[in-house]
Amino acid sequence: MSDDGDAKVLSGNEVSKEIRDSLKKNVSELSKKLPGFRPGLAIVQVGGREDSNVYIRMKLKAATEIGIYAEHVQLPKSITEGELLAKINSLNIDPKFHGIIVQMPLDSSNKIDSHLITDSVSTDKDVDGLNTINEGKIAVGDLNGLLPCTPNGVLELIKRSGINIAGKEAVVLGRSRIVGTPCAELLKWNHATVTVCHSKTENLKQICARADILVVAIGQPEMVKGDWVKKGAVVIDCGINAINDPLKRNGQKLVGDVAYDECKKHAAYITPVPGGVGPMTVCMLMANTIKSAEKFADRMLDTKWKLQKLSLNILSPVPSDIAISRSQVPKLITTLAEEVGLLPNEVSAYGNKKAKISLTVLDRLKDQADGKYVVIAGITPTPLGEGKSTTLVGLVQALAAHKDKNAFACLRQPSQGPTFGIKGGAAGGGYSQVIPMEDFNLHLTGDIHAVTAANNLLAAQLDARIFHEATQTDQALYDRLVPANNGVRKFSSIQLRRLERLGIKKLEPETLTIDEISKFARLNIDPTRVVWQRVVDVNDRYLRKITIGQSPTEKNFTRVESYSISVASEIMAILALATSLDDMKQRLSKMVVAFSRNGTPVTADDLGMTGALMVLMKDALEPTMMQTIEGTPVMVHAGPFANIAHGCNSILADNIALKLAGKDGYVLTEAGFGSDIGMEKFFNIKCRASGKVPNAIVLVATVRALKMHGGGPPVLPGSPLKPEYTQENLQLVENGLCNLIKHIDNGKKYGIPVVVSINVHKNDTKAEHELIQKAALKHGAFACVTSNHWAEGGKGALETAQALIDACNQKSEFKFLYDLETSIEEKVNKIAKEMYGAGQVDFNAKVREAIRLYTEKGYSKLPICMAKTSNSLTGDPNIKGAPTGFRLVVNDMLLSAGAGFLVPLIGEISRMPGLPTRPAIYDIDVDTKTGEIIGLF
């Protein structure tokens, strides 16, 4: 008590100011730990009640003073319950808000269940503490979550009195779910003996009079009188009531549920009204918001995944890939997403086994350090493939599931062509594969279909434009291109860009001269110089050359056309190289589809196609996440043809994975074919576009491939291996080591360590492996280890994983092979001589003319994307080993201006594979009883 015998005043204003000052420091500390981070609070209001507006202004003011970003989400009275729930859900998944409150009462003209609304607020963002789950936690003594604001403020004021709550008798007048009941629970779990009184309680006065702590939240003005209060008690008045007072200007004054003047003569401590519990409620709301924000920030700062691995049931002999895939029950993709640090709003699930990942991850994690960046390449393969994808998956399983490292696999999406042709799937194999295999190898999330649709829409517009220009005058073309709508003509945005490129600085269609109309409307495309091809995602040899325009409606405007497989489309290469939506838009606009009769490049933007292409490709720009058979994460995105394009998965998939892995994590990405093709393009094209610096190379080799390069008989798909490959033959291995040595040398040219991984096959011998290891180490490999991941999963790749970790700890001295400023011929020569071992490069007259044209049009500074066979270091697929000094002939040169590279063609490169006599189609079916796909692998 004070000196005059009255109770000491527990001022909520003073206590809350002290707490707010402390909260302000917490916000400052948060921003230091996470630059740019700020706690966020959303205050949802339905309607516009003035009493609610007063409270909202108080909360907004308090938030601003502390440093919390607060947004008043004001919704109309006409909102329905469903619309309000949808709005709250959007706030639940919005990462900029860490607290959400719904201002009560709801001022709605529609019937809305307020309890349903408060329960719809995420428990992690329920800073009012009104969600039933949060209420239930308090009831069972879990006080680590978000506590209801008024009861928490009450408890803080009681503690400020200095009373030892434990063992004291506490009485709570009122049992509302917002104040009375949670107050009682908080006091109980702070070890007071609690009695809850309500309107049906008898002998209220006597019960209250024995309370050491009296909390009043009954809603009756000045109900508790002085003789209800025990001498020396702590009295907390939660009420606020307006009563008549003729002495006040407005005729009213605010009083609590306690007769203050009477009770203060008995109590030791008492709260005033106003200025007591009220300010504490707002203060605790801010404290909860910061508590939620700190929890969110801790998750961002703690980049170590909480990954639950999936156990393998290893069988011997190893069953079929599909049998292994189906033997595993994958985690829910949303569970995996949460384990690797993704937020709900960043994940769009396609069923429960795969999901699109939003590019907003990159914005959220822009200040987070990247993981280690590793490319998986190979020696020159046999037609059966040497297991780069399988090695990549096995290595990631070893790192993430066995060595407890954050590790992402990043793979290309396979085309349907090989799946239904002869190669089969590309999801890895054995106990190192991506699951479900059917999803991975078929439609996935539709990206290849989007590429096909976009590519063919552009082709349709191109041929339609040729037709319309051939059948109309300049004025007729112009009138149709810029029609009057409701009597008004105006240029579209894309047409204004064309005018700017033409140097026509006019904005009104009526102001163009006759000459300007002609320049604008007529692209003057040369039908013999159309370079854009239609695509389809199947192996269809009869589309390699066709004639289009044979219908009478096309008026004999026919031309010879060629189809490519969808993954050979330049749009697929752009999908793989784009770094953002805006970057993709710029690249799509620059695609050269034809040349005019005077040699001017005609672009997709000239055809008015950029926006339409973006609409079709927008969702495809998001990578798809899946999982390995051991439950580790995989990004699957883009699949550019490795011969005609750069053969790597997307930059965006890698970038997202690098951020999620964090500075101590690893991202393993694949390059198509051998180091001469895929790895060279990965470094000189992909890394140039992404700006990422790789840390190591894993070079996959097999005894089988080295024997082939050492003079072994041909390896043919579908045919049994000859005895040379199934029995030990050290001489053939030794003869073929030259190919491995060349690929190691190729890797070393880029200044980063090369780890050789021998992909173990069942017929290999220890002596053969030791021979390879000795040669690899002698010729500069950082390490050379065997890996049995196909038969054992991640456990079989542990030695390779450790070698990779050690290699990544070396300082990267990465450098590009060539300077973009050098001429086209110099860049081609550099690649041919240094990567392939060529002695001379020949450019025929057609190629030299193309080089002249591309240089003249400003394309000479682009990187080079060599198109040559993957079956040899030379341009001849039949030549094995590692020959030197040979002649390399460039037959043609294509421009991929949107993707951003030039494509020299070496030898015959088909962009449309054909089906063999007996394709995999014969074995593929659906079990109509179970719905399972059979025969796919």
> What are the residue ranges spanned by the domains of the chain?
8-288, 321-446+620-809, 448-617, 824-906
Average pLDDT taken over every residue of the chain: 94
- What's residue 644's pLDDT? 83
pLDDT recorded at residue 108: 93
pLDDT per residue as tens digits for the range 217-248: 999 999 999 999 999 999 999 998 888 887 77
The pLDDT confidence band at residue 422, using thresholds 50, 70 and 90, is low
Quick: pLDDT tens for 432-474: 999 998 888 888 999 999 999 999 999 999 999 999 999 999 9
pLDDT at 742 > cutoff 80: yes
Q: What are phi and psi of 711, to 5 degrees?
A: 110, 10
At residue 36 the predicted structure's pLDDT band, cuts being 50, 70 and 90, is: confident
| CATH topology match: 8-288 vs 321-446+620-809 | yes
The C-alpha atoms of residue 392 and residue 376 are separated, in whole angstroms, by 7
d(CA 394, CA 396): 5
436 preceded by cis ω (within 30°)? yes
Q: What average pLDDT does range 881-889 have in this prediction?
A: 96
Confidence of residue 846 (pLDDT cuts 50, 70, 90): very high
CATH fold of the domain at 321-446+620-809: Rossmann fold (3.40.50)
Q: What is the pLDDT of residue 909?
A: 82
Radius of gyration (C-alpha) of the chain in whole angstroms: 36
pLDDT beyond 80 at 714: yes
Q: Over 70: is that where the pLDDT of 345 sits?
A: yes
Percentage of residues of the chain with pLDDT beyond 70: 99
Query: What residues are labeled active site?
Result: 59, 103, 128
What is the homologous superfamily of the domain 448-617 according to CATH?
Answer: Domain 2, N(10)-formyltetrahydrofolate synthetase (3.30.1510.10)
Average pLDDT over residues 314-326: 90
Of the candidates 790, 875, 49, the residue with the CA atom closest to the CA atom of residue 433: 790
> What does the pLDDT read at residue 4?
61
Cα gap 94→124, rounded to integer Å: 12
- The 10s digit of each residue's pLDDT in 628-686 is 999 999 999 999 988 788 999 999 999 999 999 999 999 999 998 899 999 999 999 99
Backbone angles phi, psi at 781, to 5 degrees: -65, 140
Residue 592 contacts by C-beta under 8 Å, 6 or more apart in sequence?
531, 601, 602, 603, 895, 897, 898
Residue 908 has a pLDDT of 82
* Kind and range of the H or E run holding 667: strand 666-670
Cis amide bond preceding 274, omega within 30: yes
Look up the CATH superfamily of 8-288. Answer: NAD(P)-binding Rossmann-like Domain (3.40.50.720)
Residue 423: per-residue pLDDT? 55
The pLDDT score that the predictor gives to residue 911 is 85
Q: Does the structural domain 824-906 have CATH classification 3.10.410.10?
A: yes
Distance of alpha carbon 203 from alpha carbon 495, whole angstroms: 85
Q: Report in angstroms the alpha-carbon separations of 902 from 415, 686, 820, 897.
A: 23, 14, 12, 8
More confident residue, 919 or 747: 747
Residue 915 banded pLDDT, cuts 50, 70, 90:
confident
Q: How far apart are CA 95 and CA 404, in angstroms?
A: 28
> Residues 286-305: what's their mean pLDDT?
93
pLDDT the model gives residue 320: 86
